[in-house]
Amino acid sequence: MNFPTDKELANSTLQALEQRGGSATIQDLSHDMAAILGLSEAVLREPLNAPSHAGRGGFVRSSRFNFRSAWARRNLREKGAIASLRRGTWAITEYGRTLLSPASQS
């Protein structure tokens, strides 16, 4: 399996937040995004140019997935699609919900 694109990471972030009722912790988001994207353990554990070590929840803290997911959240926040409720917890905004609508996907 190829690594997900930036757009796929962003869309799965929004989908995961919506499925969780609008907000989620980073750990829950990572788990749900991996399921939505159908990612293998190998993809989840792919290191980011550094020796990896297992983090909480079975994800590798220095993984490419975690690094790129953080950038997806940052970009979504800058667009106003998500907001940080508190450290480590994200929520989808009304604008973020419009990005999930079928009309915005075309």
Give the CATH number of the domain where residue 50 resides.
1.10.10
pLDDT at 52 over 50: no
Tell me if 28 is assigned to some domain: yes
In a domain, 106, yes or no: no
Q: Which domain holds residue 37?
A: 6-98
Tokens 């994207």 identify what position?
37
CB within 8 Å of 69: residues ≥ 6 apart: 9, 13, 29, 30, 33
Task: Please give the model's pTM, rounded to 2 decimal places.
Answer: 0.83
- On whether residue 33 sits in a domain, the answer given is yes
Q: Evaluate whether residue 103 is within a structural domain.
A: no
Query: How many separate domains does the chain show?
Result: 1
Predicted pLDDT of residue 48: 78
Query: 57-76: per-residue pLDDT in tens?
Result: 555 457 889 999 999 999 99
In this prediction, residue 2 carries a pLDDT of 82
Is 105 within a domain? Answer: no
**Is 104 within a domain?**
no
Average pLDDT over residues 71-89: 96
